Amino acid sequence: QQQVKQSPQSLIVQKGGISIINCAYENTAFDYFPWYQQFPGKGPALLIAIRPDVSEKKEGRFTISFNKSAKQFSLHIMDSQPGDSATYFCAASKGSGGSNYKLTFGKGTLLTVNP
């Protein structure tokens, strides 16, 4: 049972455009939703994260939108740059109640930003 579904699998955007990646989750106990960025040959690195008590979080060109009732969250990359070309993973975890902060990941989105 896949608890976090991510789409699209791949995305091609022109420089300066907006990249949008979507995720949906099933477990309503999840209370932490991070996005990780991974470049080829490297480990994933935290990009931005949100908790369900807010509907949006922005850090520079990166914004998470969160819809608790729909159990969906998305990553928006404004003014996309070729350097943003990477694989992006959404994830979710339940931080409290002895779950030990285990992350459940989506399958990833390969973003290519053309110059």
Residue numbers at the binding site for other proteins (CB under 8 A) = 6, 32, 34, 36, 41-46, 49, 89, 91, 93, 95, 100-108
Nearer to other proteins, 72 or 104 (CB): 104
Nearer to other proteins, 80 or 108 (CB): 108
C-beta of residue 5 within 8 angstroms of C-beta of residue 91: no
C-beta of 99: minimal distance to other proteins in Å?
10
C-beta of residue 46 within 8 angstroms of C-beta of residue 57: no
C-beta of residue 20 within 8 angstroms of C-beta of residue 109: no
